[in-house]
């Protein structure tokens, strides 16, 4: 079982030729509305891969909540412990999708700020193989839950996004921190590390912070640097990117699900990397996430179904 403690949003996306600059307005294409939030996206991806998944977080009592939860409910994600907060709005993300596949995202947290670690029971942690966290809910709550889970022998993974400003992130109870290049640089700089090659930075960070560092590299693949000094790397996929909005969340969710299923590091990395590539070839976040059968077929043939 995978427990995801994190955010639930409704994504509002507009395709544009180029994102507007300061003070500029641009006309875009048709409005796209879909379920999102890093926690929800990762829970949905893990479930699509076949894991039993529980999502714990919070939504408001507004009209956005039903739309934000519809895909999760349809996929069979357990929402029993999800809070419905009276008087608060469900989180929302405003996204511009540029023609080159890049995106810019602004998030209104809303009810995500009410996510509470106490909503995850000790019994649930005892039953779970993996606890997956992100940083779109209060970091104090995530930290408290990470310490409880770690003490009970549950493997704790943190997708360090969006990276908080200020002091270095607390990774004391984290077994695996998942980062992209930008987030790696932010963590390494905050830790006073000088190496400038991504693999060397990941290794230095793993040793310094005593947790494994999983680095996503886009079309160059991904690598896991362990605190013991080992590196596990997989190559990337050359694809035509349509929308990269949910790729990182898809990677994290599938990696967590594969690890919970007992797959070794190499197999889990391959599955997560393939899932992220497939996600980039479609529009949306949860709507773009592949099922395990699609991932397995892509790994065999190198072609999307």
Q: pTM of the full predicted structure?
A: 0.93
Residue range 81-94: average pLDDT? 96
**Whether pLDDT at 11 is above 70:** yes
pLDDT reported for residue 195: 80
pLDDT reported for residue 166: 58
- Dist. CA 247–CA 244, nearest whole Å: 5
Neighbouring C-alpha atoms within 13 Å toward the C-beta of 116: 10
- Dist. CA 158–CA 92, nearest whole Å: 22
Q: What is the pLDDT of residues 116-171, one digit of tens each?
A: 999 999 999 999 999 999 999 999 999 999 999 999 999 999 999 988 875 557 88
Say how many C-beta atoms besides its own lie within 10 A of residue 283's C-beta: 15
pLDDT reported for residue 227: 95
- Dist. CA 251–CA 166, nearest whole Å: 26
Neighbouring C-alpha atoms within 13 Å toward the C-beta of 97: 24
Residue of 11, 119, 243, 249 with catalytic role: 249
**Whether pLDDT at 263 is above 80:** yes
pLDDT reported for residue 221: 95
pLDDT reported for residue 167: 56
pLDDT reported for residue 103: 81
The phi, psi pair for 272, rounded to 5°, reads: -65, -40
Strand residue runs (E) in the chain: 2-5, 9-16, 32-36, 53-56, 58-60, 83-85, 91-98, 103-108, 130-133, 155-159, 176-179, 212-216, 222-225, 231-234
Rounded to 10 degrees, what is the CA torsion of 147, 149, 150, 156?
-100
Residue range 266-276: average pLDDT? 97
**Whether pLDDT at 233 is above 70:** yes
pLDDT reported for residue 111: 98
Active site residue 249: yes
Q: Which of 95, 104, 98, 44 is nearest to 242 (CA)?
A: 98
pLDDT reported for residue 79: 98
pLDDT reported for residue 199: 95
**Whether pLDDT at 100 is above 80:** no
Confidence of residue 109 (pLDDT cuts 50, 70, 90): very high
Give percent of the chain above pLDDT 70: 98
- The answer to whether residues 156 and 131 touch, using CB atoms and an 8 Å cutoff, is yes
**Least trusted range by pLDDT, from 144-148, 168-172, 205-209, 297-301:** 168-172
Q: What is the pLDDT of residues 34-63, one digit of tens each?
A: 899 999 999 999 999 999 999 999 999 999
Confidence of residue 305 (pLDDT cuts 50, 70, 90): low
pLDDT reported for residue 164: 82
Residue range 16-42: average pLDDT? 93
The three-class DSSP label of residue 30 is coil
């Amino acid at each position: 079982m995978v427990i995801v403690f994190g955010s639930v949003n409704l994504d509002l996306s507009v395709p544009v030729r180029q994102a507007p600059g300061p003070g500029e307005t641009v006309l875009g294409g048709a409005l796209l509305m879909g379920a999102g939030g890093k926690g929800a996206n990762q829970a949905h991806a893990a479930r699509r891969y076949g894991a039993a998944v529980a999502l714990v977080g919070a939504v408001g009592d507004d009209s956005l909540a039903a739309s934000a939860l519809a895909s999760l409910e349809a996929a069979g994600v357990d929402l029993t412990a999800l809070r419905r907060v009276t008087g608060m709005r469900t989180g929302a993300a405003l996204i511009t999708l540029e023609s080159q596949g890049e995106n810019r995202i602004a998030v209104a947290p809303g009810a995500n700020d009410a996510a509470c670690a106490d909503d995850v029971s000790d019994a649930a942690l005892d039953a779970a193989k993996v606890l997956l966290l992100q940083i779109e809910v209060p970091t104090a709550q995530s930290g408290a839950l990470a310490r409880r889970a770690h003490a009970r022998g549950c493997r704790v993974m943190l997708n360090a996004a969006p990276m908080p400003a200020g002091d270095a992130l607390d990774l004391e109870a984290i077994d695996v921190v998942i980062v992209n290049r930008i987030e790696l640089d932010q963590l390494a700089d905050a830790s006073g590390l000088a190496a400038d090659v991504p693999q060397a930075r990941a290794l230095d960070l793993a040793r310094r912070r005593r947790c494994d560092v999983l680095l996503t590299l886009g079309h160059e693949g991904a690598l896991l640097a362990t605190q013991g000094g080992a590196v596990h790397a997989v190559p990337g996929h050359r694809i035509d990117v349509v929308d990269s909005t949910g790729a990182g969340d898809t990677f994290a969710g599938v990696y967590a699900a594969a690890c919970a299923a007992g797959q070794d590091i190499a197999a889990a990395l391959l599955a997560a990397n393939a899932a992220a590539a497939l996600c980039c070839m479609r529009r949306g976040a949860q709507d773009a996430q592949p099922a395990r059968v699609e991932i397995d077929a892509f790994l065999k043939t190198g072609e999307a179904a």
